[in-house]
A and B are shown apart, each in its own frame.
Chain A
């Protein structure tokens, strides 16, 4: 397997900050488009939808880090926190657009939406579940929580599934674009259930290979 050219260590931190900037570019671009007429005649809805889709894309990227390392030996684990946080920021923007620009702080309507409309209940639940993940994304929390941190952050699987369901339930018919996003999330979640046997086999092969090479 071809190895991916590794980034020199001294650029790691800069590349993470770069990812934050690049990751928030779509939000800035669509905000500019929406406020200058570039998103058509219903800019609030368009902006709300496109930001929601980008939130899912960053969740997909976050989930892709582990299989990339396992299967393609690309180790981008250092970017995972940034990807997850960017996803959280997009979910926050998505909700803020809905609350401020779409429903214009009509809390009664927001409350009845959350209670009565399953896709909004699910979306709001995902936002709530993302908060503890974002709050504990710092190194101090990782050290402090130890094994509990890993357990807590498995919530991302539920959030990803919820986000996909929220998307499917929100569209009038599932066409190619929603299908691709949902299929990627399904694939990445399904990988978690087969990961252990795959890794066990990989490790076993590696262990078998080592002494053979040594004997040569």
Chain B
């Protein structure tokens, strides 16, 4: 990771940052293994450069964005809460730019209703993608509704803590959607497509009862195997001081995003 600076922005939560060491060693990135320490231990040989993202589908101007061009976008500091579906959370200072900035460049057509995303497949650099017992089918895919994708909170992150993204955090470029469970924020993106129908998403395909397309953070809707009412802030407390925080609707971003779901049954559309 090399130094990277973003412009200050108003998008920041006034809570204690999760220590950088925790942010970079406690990760879910199954392409590098299923244990929390696996990504930081196994991502050393991953090559985040050169890189490009192909943006296609229902767009007026399909385009392949090189990493240099993406790094020259107007980068901002964004300090967001991150809530994992597993019941833990962090506060992370990201550096990135609104996803809408590149969507605007490709000119989505009127028929485009959703955005789908795809992670790189490189078994030779990502040990979780080879051998028996691969935890998920690859590539990892995710999706958003177009209005969710265009919300100003939705960013493509290229750095954290004043540096370019470490490999284990989704180098060189990843999505961050702070009001949804962490698995929606797909890492190491190589492809973005504008589509008409709700796209396939990896965890929903794997277990639709437990992981929905929307996956908005919602303390009132339990995961079938655990309550989502509270969360463990990573790096706070130890073995005996595990002080759980109450989980907030839309992870505390209800003011900015609740209107996206006006009239929707959030229990059915979990």
Give CA–CA (A11, B46) in the complex, Å: 54
A42 touches B234 (CB 8 A): yes
Least CB distance from B183 to A in Å reads 10
Residues on the A chain within 8 Å of B227, using CB: 109, 112-113
A176 touches B37 (CB 8 A): no
Least CB distance from A113 to B in Å reads 7
A117 touches B25 (CB 8 A): no
Give CA–CA (A35, B26) in the complex, Å: 17
Give CA–CA (A173, B136) in the complex, Å: 8
Interface residues of B in 218-251 (CB under 8 A from A): 222, 224-227, 232, 234-235, 238-240, 242, 244
Interface residues of chain B: helix, strand, loop or mixed (majority): loop
B135 touches A117 (CB 8 A): no
Q: Mark A35-59, 1 if CB is under 8 A from B, else 0.
A: 1010011111111000000000000
From A46, A112, A116, A173, B206 is in contact (CB under 8 Å) with A173
A169 touches B225 (CB 8 A): yes
Given known contacts A113-B226, A173-B206, A175-B133, A40 and B37 CB-to-CB distance under 8 angstroms: yes
Closest 7 CB pairs of A and B: A173-B135, A41-B22, A41-B26, A34-B239, A43-B239, A44-B242, A41-B234
A25 interface hit (Cβ, 8 Å) = no
Residues on the A chain within 8 Å of B239, using CB: 34-35, 43-44, 47, 101
A101 touches B37 (CB 8 A): no
Q: Mark A11-44, 1 if CB is under 8 A from B, else 0.
A: 0000000000000000000000011010011111
B253 interface hit (Cβ, 8 Å) = no
B133 touches A174 (CB 8 A): yes
Q: List 9 A-B contacts (CB under 8 A).
A: A40-B25, A40-B36, A41-B22, A113-B226, A116-B222, A172-B34, A173-B135, A175-B34, A175-B133
Contacts from B to A (Cβ < 8 Å) = 21-22, 25-26, 30, 34, 36-37, 86, 88, 132-133, 135-136, 206, 222, 224-227, 232, 234-235, 238-240, 242, 244
Least CB distance from A45 to B in Å reads 8
Given known contacts A40-B37, A41-B26, A179 and B133 CB-to-CB distance under 8 angstroms: yes
Give CA–CA (A119, B34) in the complex, Å: 20
Residues on the B chain within 8 Å of A172, using CB: 34, 86, 135
Residues on the B chain within 8 Å of A119, using CB: 225
Give CA–CA (A117, B224) in the complex, Å: 7
A70 interface hit (Cβ, 8 Å) = no
Interface residues of A in 91-139 (CB under 8 A from B): 101-102, 104, 109, 112-113, 116-117, 119-120
Q: For residue B36, which residue of chain A has the nearest CB?
A: A40
B135 touches A40 (CB 8 A): no
Residue count of chain A within 8 Å CB distance of chain B? 29
B242 touches A40 (CB 8 A): no
A40 touches B224 (CB 8 A): no
From B206, B225, B232, B240, A42 is in contact (CB under 8 Å) with B232
A35 touches B242 (CB 8 A): no
A161 interface hit (Cβ, 8 Å) = no
B242 touches A104 (CB 8 A): yes
Residues on the B chain within 8 Å of A120, using CB: 225
Least CB distance from A197 to B in Å reads 32
Residues on the A chain within 8 Å of B226, using CB: 113, 117
Residues on the B chain within 8 Å of A112, using CB: 227
Give CA–CA (A146, B131) in the complex, Å: 51
Give CA–CA (A40, B242) in the complex, Å: 13
Give CA–CA (A34, B22) in the complex, Å: 15
A170 interface hit (Cβ, 8 Å) = yes
Residues on the A chain within 8 Å of B36, using CB: 40-42, 46
Interface residues of A in 161-213 (CB under 8 A from B): 169-170, 172-176, 179
From B222, B225, B235, A41 is in contact (CB under 8 Å) with B235
Q: Mark A151-169, 1 if CB is under 8 A from B, else 0.
A: 0000000000000000001
A101 touches B206 (CB 8 A): no
B135 touches A175 (CB 8 A): yes
Q: Which of A47, A169, A175, A176 lies at the interface centre, i.e. has the most chain B CB atoms within 10 A of its CB?
A: A175
Q: For residue A180, which residue of chain B has the nearest CB?
A: B133
